[in-house]
Amino acid sequence: MNALLVVDVQNDFCPGGALAVPDGDRVVPVINRLIEHFEVVLNTQDWHPDGHHSFASSHEGKKPFDVIQVDYGDQVLWPDHCVQGSKGAAFHPDLNINASQLVLRKGFRKSIDSYSAFFENDQSTPTGLGEYLRERGITTLYVTGLAADFCVKWTVLDAIKEGFRVNVVEDAVRGIDLDGSLEQARQEMSGAGARETSSETLLHRV
């Protein structure tokens, strides 16, 4: 069984948001078209408490995009974003979430960041998504959303490690692209076994 996984299409990751991905809102109409052709649609939602450890504002003398060392390795420090209950944490208003069968909130533990929809950044604390997919008999994921070089990338890599077949819908993702991170992400995902496809290709199959 196939599922469409929509990663973090939230106001703070779209133009005008606290951590805007360039052209991030352009994925919305593409995703909405795809949703109509999937029986299973899943959404993830970045959901940080105030004062989250990944916020630059939580570290004296640090600024956004600085990198610090934490127990689980490098941590990029971000502007405050997707704070629980805020407008920035809400899904983009044009995104169709009516068909979503699961909204998985991540990043809610104050001391650890969570890019992947499968594991926290310590790579050992599961979100429960893997078991949910297996219980439902889902074997193949079509991944869309934001940002391609962070949350999408880590979700794709972990999905493959968990044994799922993964397709990245290239015109339904956008990246932040810090110092070439977008191209690096594409290479990592492809090297791990993810396939690239497009919404046009998918829509012509149905």
Catalytic residue among 12, 14, 106, 113: 106
Query: What amino acid occupies position 149?
Result: D
Look up residue 22 and give its DSSP letter: T
Beta strand ranges found along 8-94 (DSSP E):
41-46, 67-70, 73-76
Q: Which residue has the tokens 């949703």?
A: 35
The pair of structure tokens assigned to 65 is 């995009």
**Nearest in space to 17 (alpha carbons), one of 76, 110, 79:** 79
**Nearest in space to 19 (alpha carbons), one of 112, 123, 151, 130:** 151
Pairing status of strand 100-106 against strand 41-46: parallel
CA 145 to chain centre: 6
Number of Cα atoms under 13 Å in the Cβ half of residue 119: 15
d(CA 1, CA 40): 9
Catalytic residue at 153? Answer: no
Task: Give residues with Cβ within 8 angstroms of 72, minimum separation 6.
Answer: 112, 121, 122, 123
Catalytic residue at 14? Answer: no
Catalytic residue among 8, 25, 113, 158: 8
Catalytic residue among 46, 149, 151, 158: 151
Q: So which residues are the catalytic ones?
A: 8, 106, 151
